[in-house]
Structure 1
Amino acid sequence: MVVLTGHSLTIEDVRKVVLEKVFVSAHPDSWQEVEKSRKAVEQVVKEKRVVYGINTGFGKFSDVLIDEKDVKELQYNLIQSHACGVGDPFPEEVSRAMVLLRANALLKGFSGVRPVVIERLLQLLNAEIHPVVPQQGSLGASGDLAPLSHLALVLMGEGEVFYKGARVKAIEALSKEGIAPITLEAKEGLALINGTQAMTAVGVVAYLEAETMAYESEMIAALTMEGLRGIVDAFDEDVHVVRGYPQQVEVARRIRIYLHDSKLTTRQGELRVQDAYSLRCIPQVHGASWQALDYVKEKLEIEINAATDNPLIFPDKRKVISGGNFHGQPIALAMDFMKIALSELANISERRIERLVNPQLNDLPPFLSPEPGLQSGAMIMQYCAASLVSENKTLAHPASVDSIPSSANQEDHVSMGTIAARHAYMILQNVRRVLAIELICAMEAVAYRGVEGMASNTRAFYEEARKIVPRIVKDRKFSDDIEAMNTWLKQFDWFTFFQKKLRTNKIK
């Protein structure tokens, strides 16, 4: 079980809850802070003090005072009017992550909601009821208003959810699980939707997939090294230590581990003096992408424990302050950075694919074809990879450099962080397919060389991957192979399969 405190959630915790469906509870001490902030809200209402979002309108309507008898209707209207997301829904794991992150943020005790609101969010998680949340419609400042409003609808018994493999009305799933809808009271609607939990949820899910994929990309590159009889001297530790980047050093170390007993790789001068950059510079390029991913992870781990509400309530100091913690700029920049880093993994992979299939760049059968000319082999797989990397270049354009004013210019600078996160996730899917193509081609190349000469680590990976895609003995519909390999790479338990080797291997 993962216990939420509002302060200690990790990306590993998110993985357990979102992907492994581990149960979630709140730490008993957290409720005390929640109760204090709620009492502060009730005091504001009782004293008729003018506080944004409690007894005022929203955005440009912040100067419109709301009568005490209308504060519940204010919150209801807020959710209804803001639930205007469009497009396909987020994947279920993203929706689940949104619920988790919103519960954790509210548990910090700065949002002024009743405990029952958080309890309902935890019930959704543990019953595996996941709101249907359209992907498009958030500006990434004033919070992810539209996406989070669709989440909030479910607590009210409205909207739709994913439940037991089907898309159903929220009230149907709640009824089956014995969960009562709630009526939102003062501040609670605003507390549910003022935050960065949509972009951050997409970001965390994307990061979890990207981390695994980045490791896989190195093993796939190692197979390509064998298929092209690459020169291992370029991965010598001394070369990378003098550059000074720890991530580059680690990539080179892992490549050495994967290839340490290979009979297919060569030394400099044996066949040629040096390799092309797409082989020789694997540690430099992949290492730089790891630097970006490390930055992304750092920002995500801050954000998943952040108070992103507005206004924020500090009951111990008797302060209620309107600020801008809902602004998604830190995550917007991190997501744009991840887009570029992931795109580069595909860019260099596509260049390695070209080297595997181009007869002018290797001594393998042209396009790895079993009958060159009569059969095209992997020729058009390289086309597909080229198309995907080109698409990534358009998706990698930074979303965070754009801003369109909203709410009659009251909200005059926005982050577009949710767009950045969505595009990062789209790029991720493209990159994995490019890597799937490289793996298929690399497997063909090492099969021509003789798998008996492979390193023990790459051979183990090869044997597992061969269960998914067999040898190319005749042209076939390769899109099926690419999709099968893509799915396998996404689901492959990389850490169980290889992490022990990396921890214990003494190779320098």
Structure 2
Amino acid sequence: MHLNMNLTDATPDTGRVLFDGQPLDLEAVAAIASGRRRIRLSDAEAFRHRINAGAQAVWRLLAEEGVIYGVTTGYGDSCTVAIPPELVAELPHRLYTYHGVGMGRLLDADETRAVLAARLASLCQGMSGVRYALLEQIAALIDHDILPCIPAEGSVGASGDLTPLSYVAAALCGERDVIWRGRRMAAADALRAVGRAPLALQPKEGLAVMNGTAVMTGLACLAWQRARRCSLIASRITALNVFATAGNPHHFEAQLFDAKPHPGPRAVARRLRRDLACEDSTARNPARLQDRYSLRCAPHVIGVLEDALPFTRTLIENELNSANDNPLIDPDSGRVLHGGHFYGGHVAFAMDGLKTAVANVLDLLDRQLALLVDSRYSHGLPDNLSAADGPRAAVNHGLKALQIAVSAWTAEALKGTLPASVFSRSTECHNQDKVSMGTIAARDCQRVLDLGDQVLAAMLIAARQAVTLRLRLAPGTLPPGLADSQAWLEAHIPLVEEDRALDQDLAGLVRALRDDAVPGASESGR
């Protein structure tokens, strides 16, 4: 898959994400998930032929009384049970029916679109033994924004995301519920409203939809984007905090980082030098030779996340562009390839790694806030960053409670870093005796990122307060990058002079972060 960005193309599909079996990147999935991009399923004859050839291979094997797991046999440990020919057609319906055991919250709209895009990407590889009509039905769900109601809990990540994807399979067939135009309704009603008929799954198609890694992979694409944003915003916040505490920019010298050439820390140090306009390495506070670790070592902490991003991108995108159900059907030779591509170990590892790197960044920011609010360490800033003065200073408490809340959110994020992938369980009569837990890892990563957005929002409030107070103490000019951020923050967050509730300010900043509206959220914004 690729973005169809040929601006000379006069078709209405210019700018859509084209699904044609070519590689898809996670930015495309995120764009589909957010509604910024629509999709186009290729109607090229060669592509349609390749897809349908797999389904025809399945029918040939059935006519020859061949044995295909999940087509002529039962599922899982029941693979030794032969299905009578007259009952073969009933099997796909049975598969998504008995897997309707999902619980927990429903995936939100962005997550659901990402799941649908990930499943369509895999099926477009042409190795799943399905008809082109099945791809059309999935594409129609995305195009009309008919979103299956998918419970988040119930997958162990092998054989793929069976339980949550059963809700996709059911919706394709006009069963269970969907969200359409903001309303929850029967899938059959939504399909009818857009002129689509429920699909009757053919042999192998139930497995093809369900026995794969689309839920964990779709969620991972979104988590990766959020982790990238966390790295960028944490760098900008660190620069603001170095300025606010009269810190030492010489900790970020290029020569210093040439001596320990991890790419991530070098990139973060480069951002800090640029934000602080300190290529000459002039220290702002020569009285203190070395700042505390949460400032001095910020490139080393954020840099770990920065270095994890390209590695985990490769893992996620390889999974996204794979045929990951079982068995696979070679459309050219008709061979049935029984294996375990539904195993989501790479996504699990990526998510366990990212959530740990993100949580460490949050812990770094929590420690920076502890310096900001403590006048013993902030080089002249008032306790709790209170902007109140005179007699009223006694009854105002500044950001005291905000610092407590950041500590709580950080602690919960750190608690959530326990790797899910090591909690494999033996399930399904010991047939699925080693499973990936990839979907739990992805959900855990999302939770850490949710907490992270709250920490970032709080740190933006604190940085806005601290920079203002520093400029009161030592009037001067902010470097251009920081001036842009400070101006944006001042326009959105009033200075805390009299105590007030900050929950609405926090909520607004979280929304702005998720919309990439906060300065510093992208490299291109520099």
* TM-score, reference length from structure 2: 0.92
**CA RMSD between the two structures:** 1.9
Q: Does 1:306 align with 2:330?
A: no
- The equivalent position to 2:348 in structure 1, one of 332, 335, 353, is 332
Classify the secondary structure of the residue corresponding to 2:329: strand
Given the alignment, which residue of 419, 423, 433 partners 1:412?
A: 433
The answer (yes or no) to whether the contact 1:223–1:439 under 8 Å persists in 2 is no
The answer to whether residue 500 in structure 2 is matched with residue 479 in structure 1 is: no
**Aligned partner (choices 156, 171, 177) of residue 194 of structure 2:** 177
Give the counterpart of 1:396 among 402, 409, 417.
417
1:433 pairs, out of 442, 454, 458, with: 454
User: Which residue in the other structure is 1:187 paired with?
Assistant: 204
Write the distance in 2 (CA, Å) between the matches of 1:250 and 1:448: 29
Q: Report the CA distance shift for 1:127/1:486 in structure 2 as closer, same or farther (over 3 A).
A: same
Helix, strand or coil: the match of 1:168?
strand
Contact in 2 for aligned 1:143/1:326 (Cα 8 Å): yes
Matched letter for residue 19 of structure 1: S
Match of 1:488 among 496, 506, 512: 512
How many angstroms apart in 2 are the aligned matches of 1:180 and 1:467? 51
**Alpha-carbon distance between aligned partners in 1 of 2:505 and 2:229, rounded to the nearest angstrom:** 20
3-state SS, counterpart of residue 184 of structure 2: strand
Q: Is the 8 A contact 1:347 1:389 kept in 2?
A: yes
- Cα shift at 1:333: 0.9
CA distance 1:74–1:332, change in 2 (3 Å): same
Residue 203 in 1 paired to residue 227 in 2?
no
Partner of 1:456: 480
Alignment pair present for 1:94 and 2:118: no
Q: Please tell me whether the aligned partners of residues 247 and 285 of structure 2 are also in contact (alpha carbons under 8 angstroms).
A: no
Query: Aligned match of 1:272 in 267, 288, 294?
Result: 288
The percentage of aligned residue pairs carrying the same residue is 32
Conserved 8 A contact 1:262-1:453 = no
Question: Which residue number in structure 2 is paired with residue 293 of structure 1?
Answer: 309
Paired residue type of 2:156:
L
Structure-2 separation of matches of 1:425 and 1:266: 40
Residue 281 (structure 1) aligns with: 297
Q: Deviations over 1:326-361 (max 9, x none)?
A: 011111111100110110110000000111101221
1:5 Cα deviation (Å)?
A: 2.3
Cα offsets for 1:370-390 (capped at 9, x unmatched) = 344411110111111111111
> CA 1:108–1:498 in 2, change beyond 3 Å: closer, same or farther?
closer
Greater shift in the superposed pair: 128-137 or 310-319 = 310-319
1:235 aligns with 2:259: no
Helix, strand or coil for the counterpart of 2:492?
A: coil
Once residues 13 and 290 of structure 1 are traced to their aligned partners in structure 2, the CA distance between those partners, rounded to angstroms, is 21
**Are 2:76 and 2:428, in contact at CA under 8 Å, matched by a contact in 1?**
yes
Q: Show the 5 A alignment for 1:442-453.
A: 442-450=463-471, 452-453=476-477
Task: Provide the secondary structure at the position in 2 that maps to 1:54.
Answer: coil
Matched, 1:3 2:18: yes
Q: Given the superposition, is the C-alpha separation of residues 495 and 322 from structure 1 closer, same or farther in structure 2, using an over 3 Å criterion?
A: farther
Residue 386 of structure 1 is matched in structure 2 by 407
Q: 1:364 to 1:268 in 2, by over 3 A?
A: closer
Counterpart-to-counterpart distance in 2, 1:182 and 1:317: 27
2:82 to 44, 60, 65: 65
Amino acid at match of 2:502: F
Q: Distance in 2 between matches of 1:47 and 1:354?
A: 72
CA drift of 1:466 comes to 2.2
Change (3 A) 1:467 1:269: closer
Distance in 2 separating the partners of 1:49 and 1:455? 72
- 1:496 Cα deviation (Å)? 9.4
Is 1:216 matched with 2:233?
Answer: yes
**Contact persistence 1:33–1:108 (CA under 8 A):** no
- For residues 444-467 of structure 1, give each alpha carbon's deviation from its aligned partner in whole angstroms, at most 9, with x where no partner exists: 111012275211111111111222
In structure 2, which of residues 21, 24, 30 is the aligned counterpart of residue 15 of structure 1? 30
Give the drift of 1:26. Answer: 2.5
Q: Residues 392, 270 of structure 1: CA spacing in aligned structure 2 closer, same or farther, 3 A cutoff?
A: same
Alignment counterpart, residue 41 of structure 2, candidates 10, 22, 26: 26
Taking structure 1 as reference, are residues 167 and 349 closer, same or farther at Cα in structure 2, changes over 3 Å only?
Answer: same
187-196 or 23-32, which moves further after superposition? 23-32
Amino acid at match of 1:4: F
Deviation of 1:12 after TM superposition, in Å, equals 2.0
* TM-superposed deviation, 1:261: 6.7
Q: Which residue of 2 aligns with 1:466?
A: 490
Q: CA separation in 2, counterparts of 1:157 and 1:501? A: 45
Question: 1:144 touches 1:418 (CA, 8 Å); kept in 2?
Answer: yes
Post-superposition offset of 1:497: 7.7
Is residue 54–residue 334 contact of structure 2 (8 Å, CA) maintained in 1? no
Distance 2:121 2:519 in 1: 27
How far does residue 166 in structure 1 lie from its aligned partner after superposition?
2.4
Aligned to 2:219, the other structure's residue is in SS state helix
Partner of 2:12: none
Secondary structure (helix, strand or coil) at the match of 2:332 reads helix
Tell me the equivalent position of 1:353.
369
Question: Is contact 1:469-1:484 (8 Å) kept?
Answer: no
Q: Is the 2:175–2:186 Cα contact (8 Å) retained in structure 1? A: yes
Q: Which residue of 2 aligns with 1:155?
A: 172
Partner secondary structure for residue 488 of structure 2: helix
- Alpha-carbon distance between aligned partners in 1 of 2:35 and 2:520, rounded to the nearest angstrom: 15
CA–CA distance in structure 2, aligned partners of residues 262 and 9 of structure 1 = 39
Q: CA deviation at 1:285?
A: 0.9
Unaligned runs of 5+ in 2: 1-15
Question: Match for residue 10 of structure 2?
Answer: none
Paired residue for 1:146?
A: 163
CA shift for structure 1 position 104: 1.2
Deviation at 1:70, TM superposition (A): 1.2
The answer to whether the 8 Å contact 2:106/2:152 transfers is yes
Name the CA distance, whole Å, in 1 between partners of 2:72 and 2:413.
Answer: 46
- Determine if contact 1:139/1:415 at 8 Å carries over to the other structure: yes
What is the SS of the residue equivalent to 1:158? coil
Tell me the secondary structure at the aligned position of residue 395 of structure 2: coil
Mapped to 2, the partners of 1:442 and 1:282 lie a distance apart of 16
Please say if residues 230 and 358 of structure 2, whose CA atoms lie closer than 8 Å, have aligned partners that are also in contact.
no
SS at match of 2:185: strand
Residue aligning to 2:8: none
The one-letter code matched in structure 1 to 2:424 is S
State the match for 2:339 in structure 1.
323
Structure 1 262/342 Cα, relative in aligned 2: closer, same or farther at 3 Å? same
Aligned to 2:156, what secondary structure does the other structure show? Answer: coil
Aligned pairs, how many?
Answer: 501
Q: Distance in 2 between matches of 1:169 and 1:421?
A: 28
Match of 1:248 in 2: 265
